[in-house]
Structure 1
Amino acid sequence: MADFEQEEGDLTIDPSEVIQVIELNDDGDGSGDPSNVNDDSGLSDEDADENEEMDTDEAAAGPVQDDSALTFLGHHNDAVICTEISPVNSHLVITGGQDDQALVWNSRDGSVMFQCTGHTDTVVSVGFSFDGSFVATADMKGMIKVWKVETGTEVWSFEVSDIEWLQWHQAAPVLLVGTKEGQVWMWKIPSGDCKTFVGYGPSALCGRILPDGKRAYVGYDDGAVKVWDLKSTEAVFTVSGHDGHKEPVFCMDHNNDGSLIMSGSGDMTVKIISTVNGKVVATLKCTESDGDEDSVETVGFCKTHEYVATGTLSGNLEIWNLPSKSVRHRCDHPYGIVKLRWSASSPILYTVCLDGCVRQFDGRNGQLMRMWQGHSAGILDFDIARDESFIVTASDDFTAKVFSLADAPR
Structure 2
Amino acid sequence: MSGWHYKTQAAIEYSYRVRESTPDTWVFWIHASNAARLEQGYQQIAARAEIPGWDDLKTNILQLVHQWLCDARNGRWLMVLDNADNDGMFFSGSASEDRGPLVGFLPQAAHGSMLIISRNGLAAWNLVGSYGHVITVQPMNEKESLALLQARIPAAHPGGSKDDEKALVEALEYIPLAITQAGSYIANRLPLVTVATYLRLFYESEAKQTRLLQSEESTDLRRDPSIRYAVITTWQLSFEQIRQERPAAADLLALMSMFDRQGIPEDLVRGSEQDELDFHDALVPLLNYSLVRLEMSEGLYDMHRLVQLSVRAWLDIDQQLHSWQAKSRVIMAREFPDGNYESWTQCRSLLAHAKSVLQSLRDVDDEDRLHAATLLANCGWFLHLQGGYKEAEAMYRRALEAREKVLSREHPDMLTSVSNLGNVLDRQGKYEEAEVMRRRALA
Q: Which has the higher contact order (CA 8 A, sep 6+)?
A: 1
TM-score, normalised on structure 2? 0.21
Q: Which structure has greater strand proportion?
A: 1
Q: Which structure has greater helix proportion?
A: 2
